[in-house]
Chains A and B, each alone.
Chain A
């Protein structure tokens, strides 16, 4: 679902319970369930592949007219070439790398902002919390795509790929802040927090030392969801031609394919290859995130 990053059904349904942190540095095997394993394998293959393969690329795939146009699949060009004379396979490899890198970058930014906002709102409470939550709810309710379209139309051509990431951070932090805050709320009234407060710890110390270790597991899941959201948002903008479409991403491939009417000219591969790559990558990310969730949930149940 486009742009619907993290109404994570699992998080929604499960009231946040504290994680019983594993004592000692035991084996991490308890984490592995089928979902997580499949997800991690997909991510490892696609992540490592897209990081390492670009070093072996014969030419920069974003350069146009490197090869003959519209070649069929062959040994030299595994997925053929497109109407711009680019090798589809190498374009795809670079696309996966760029999209993943953007996703991780945005997720770092979003997680930082969401954690600061959510934790402080949940912990400080009172009027401050109400004000912050009003802003958060507003950002959640405002439809993101129209705003991004205007921004894209205004800065198109004068922007770097990085700016696109920053814009997604600015408009994408609210959902996570909401989740973090509800976790902070459920933790605020717990015994050990009071204990820390009576022992003389200040707000900052309590947030950093007592609350953060408890919410880190959920933040990992949230992080993956933001990666999904960011890749998706950039690709969405790219598909309608409002991102930096010269940079290979999972969306810009489809933009060029649709722009050159790949459907009418019968160049399926140009469209099918990015579709398969995207679906696999998204499935990998999603399985990893729900797998983690399951693992932590069953860990709580057992201990």
Chain B
């Protein structure tokens, strides 16, 4: 019964996140003082040196409004928006790369983002938790505070600073990596895969470093608290070794809040990944968003943000659904 209620509650949150997130995305441009269609028409007109007649402009406006789902009252716009996004996964064509559909562009970029993001988050989470565990379990020893110091130093540094610093150090001062990466397109060959991995290392290192600090600090704090628990003292009196106590008594229990925290911080991790992609010109969703934002390609922007919301919400849901497997208290309630 406990599990069912837990799953139902979590699914409810998932639907609410999707609904509110998509509604915000829908409302934002409509609340703004500027109108993308006006902007686009202005662009075309300046390109045509103002030779467009007012009839041609009016016709173009109706066409564009039709194309971007802006006709009808706000409720029917909303209904058709939801249907298009959730059922058809159709965001219309791109402005800049007309007539390429937005969904195809996004689906092309998605594996890049996911590959980088999942690998980096996993490494940062595992490494950070291990270091944090050691720092917390041996917190009475001087050497452990050096590990914590590492966390304090890394945690408050913003992604963009880390990214620029990594670029400066590893591509300029020590030219191990290229300043501007090249990512081959087309059929994958072993050679190309190697090149992709080599070029992905810099953004990867940035993401790992960024996630590392926080994991160290929070795991350390959790491990310190858990080490004081009576059952850990009991295990020590029983004669369990340091390793057994650290791994199966402290780590197992301190892990649970870390899993929840990972689910909650996914949005932020995703933000960081987007930013890192932009700074390193890594061909994922982040780069698409940046190009679209500077070029005023709103369809692409909306596609990317909608997908971001769905992806982050789904990933959070998956982590939370795995959680009962780790926490017997929910299973046996």
Contact = CB atoms under 8 A, between A and B. Distances in A.
Interface of A: 1-4, 7, 9-10, 12-14, 134-135, 137-147, 149-155, 158, 228, 232, 235-236, 239-242, 251, 254, 258, 263-264, 268, 271-272, 275, 278-279, 282-283, 285-287, 290
Interface string B186-226: 00000000000000000000000011011001101110110
A13 B225 contact: yes
B211 A1 contact: yes
Contacts of B158: 1-2, 232, 235-236, 278, 282
3 closest cross-chain pairs (CB), A and B: A2-B159, A9-B218, A13-B221
Contacts of A228: 156
A142 B224 CA distance: 32
> Is chain B's interface secondary structure helix, strand, loop, or mixed overall?
helix
Interface in B95-129: none
Given A138-B16, A147-B28, 12 more contacts: A7-B214, A9-B218, A13-B225, A137-B13, A139-B20, A141-B17, A143-B271, A145-B271, A149-B293, A149-B305, A239-B279, A283-B156
B248 interface: no
B257 interface: yes
A138 B267 contact: no
Nearest to B155: A1
A154 B305 CA distance: 14
B32 A13 contact: no
Contact of B34 (A139, A143, A158, A232): A158
B308 interface: yes
Contacts of A239: 160, 275, 279
Interface string B284-319: 000001101110101001101100110011001000
Given A228-B156, A268-B168, A282-B156, A3 B268 contact: yes
A290 B153 CA distance: 13
Contact residues on B (Cβ < 8 Å of other chain), bracket: 35 or more
Interface string B5-22: 000000011001100110
Given A2-B160, A241-B294, A271-B164, A137 B17 contact: yes
A10 B221 contact: yes
9 contacts: A4-B272, A10-B221, A13-B222, A142-B312, A143-B308, A145-B274, A235-B158, A240-B278, A278-B161
Contacts of B239: none
Contacts of A275: 161, 164-165, 168
B24 A142 contact: yes
Interface of B: 12-13, 16-17, 20-21, 24-25, 28-29, 32-34, 36, 152-153, 155-161, 164-165, 167-168, 171-172, 179, 210-211, 213-214, 217-218, 220-222, 224-225, 257, 261, 264-272, 274-275, 278-279, 289-290, 292-294, 296, 298, 301-302, 304-305, 308-309, 312-313, 316
Nearest to A9: B218
Is chain A's binding surface mostly helix, strand, loop or mixed? Answer: helix
Contacts of A153: 292-294, 296, 298, 301
Contacts of A139: 20
A14 B156 contact: no
Contacts of B29: 150, 154
Contacts of B220: 9
A4 B220 CA distance: 18
A140 B160 contact: no
Nearest to A175: B264
A141 B213 CA distance: 21
Contacts of B161: 275, 278-279
Contact of B271 (A134, A141, A144): A144
Contacts of B33: 155, 158
